[in-house]
A and B are shown apart, each in its own frame.
Chain A
Amino acid sequence: MSPSVVAADRPPRRIGSTLMLRFEREVVTALGNAPEQSTRGAVEAFVDGSLRALPEPIRLGLLGETVILGTYVGLLRAAGRVEDTVDLRRRLDAWEGSRISYLRQYVHMFRSLVLFAENELGPDATDAEQEPAA
Chain B
Amino acid sequence: MASITTEVLVIGSGAGGAVTAARLAESGHDVLVVEEGPWFDADEHEPFSLPEMVAKYRHRGAQVALGNPAVAFGEGRCVGGSTEVNSGLFHRLPDHLAEEWQRTYDIDDFDPATLARYATRVETELGVSTLPTAPPPSSAALERGATKLGWRNVEFARVFRYDEQGRGTKQTMSRTLLPKAVSAGARILPDCRVLRLRLHPGDGRALGARCERTHPDGGREILDVDADHVVVCAGAVQTPALLQRSGVRRNIGRGLKLHPTVKIAARFPHPVDHGDVPMHRVTEFAPHLTIGGSASRKGQIAMALAEATHDIDDALADWDNVAVYYAAIRSEGSGRVRAIPGLKAPLITYKLTDADMSRLARGLVHLGEVLLAAGATELYPSLVGGPVARRLDDIGQWWDRSTRSNSNLMTVHLTSTVRMGNDRALTGTDSYGQVWDHPHLHVNDASLLPDAPGVNPQAAIMTIASRNTEHLITSL
Q: Do chains A and B stick together as partners?
A: yes
| B-binding residues in A (CB < 8 A) | 1, 9-11, 46, 49-50, 53-58, 93, 96-97, 99, 101, 104-105, 108-109, 111-113, 115-121, 124-127, 129, 132-134
B299, A125: Cβ atoms under 8 Å?
yes
Q: Is A53 within 8 A of B62, CB to CB?
A: yes
Q: Is the CB of A116 within 8 A of B302?
A: yes
Chain B residue numbers with a CB within 8 Å of A93 are 310
Nearest Cβ in chain A — how far from B78, in angstroms? Answer: 13
Least Cβ–Cβ distance between B156 and chain A, in angstroms: 24
Identify which of residues 33-92 in chain B touch chain A, using a CB-to-CB cut-off of 8 Å: 46, 49-51, 54-55, 59-60, 62-64, 68-70
A49 to B50, CA, bound (A): 12
Q: Which residues of B contact A (CB under 8 A)?
A: 46, 49-51, 54-55, 59-60, 62-64, 68-70, 218, 274, 297-303, 306, 310, 316, 319, 340, 342-347, 384-385, 405, 408
Q: Could you name 10 residue pairs across A and B whose Cβ atoms are closer than 8 Å? A: A1-B342, A49-B54, A57-B343, A97-B384, A108-B408, A115-B306, A118-B299, A129-B46, A132-B51, A133-B55
Chain A nearest Cβ from B402, distance in angstroms: 15
A-B contact count (CB 8 A): 102
Residue of B nearest to A61 (CB): B66
Given contacts A11-B218, A133-B51, contact A120 B59 (CB under 8 A): no
By the criterion CB–CB under 8 Å, are B303 and A112 in contact?
yes
Contacts of A53 in B (CB 8 A): 59-60, 62
Q: Is the CB of A55 within 8 A of B299?
A: no
Check B340–A57 contact: CB distance below 8 A.
Answer: yes
Pick from A97, A109, A111, A129: contact of B51, CB under 8 Å: A129
A56 to chain B, nearest CB (A): 4
Contact of A126 (CB < 8 Å), options: B274, B306, B316: B274
Q: How far is the CA of A109 from the CA of B61 in the complex (A)?
A: 12
The answer to whether B64 touches A58, judged by C-beta atoms less than 8 angstroms apart, is yes
> In the complex, what residue of chain B is closest to A52 when comparing beta carbons?
B60
Task: Judge whether A101 and B69 touch: CB under 8 Å.
Answer: yes
Q: Is the CB of A115 within 8 A of B50?
A: no
Bound state CA distance, A134 and B385, in angstroms?
35
Which chain B residue lies CB-closest to A55? B345
Tell me, in angstroms, the Cα distance from A134 to B51 when the chains sit together.
9
In the assembled complex, the Cα of A79 lies from the Cα of B437 at a distance in Å of 63
Q: How far is the CA of A18 from the CA of B347 in the complex (A)?
A: 25
The 3 A-B residue pairs with the shortest CB-CB distance, nearest first, are A55-B345, A120-B299, A120-B50
**CA separation between A119 and B68, bound complex, in Å?**
29
In contact, A54 and B62 (Cβ under 8 angstroms): yes
Contact (Cβ within 8 A) A116 B303: yes
New contact pairs (12) apart from A49-B60, A54-B59, A109-B62, CB-CB < 8 Å: A1-B343, A49-B54, A55-B63, A96-B384, A101-B70, A104-B384, A104-B405, A113-B62, A118-B299, A119-B302, A120-B50, A132-B54
Q: Given A101-B69, A127-B46, is A119 in contact with B299 using a C-beta cutoff of 8 Å?
A: yes
Interfacial chain A residues near B70, Cβ < 8 Å: 101, 105
Nearest opposing residue in chain A for B64, CB measure: A58
Q: How far is the CB of B374 from chain A (nearest CB, A)?
A: 22
A116 to chain B: closest residue by CB: B299
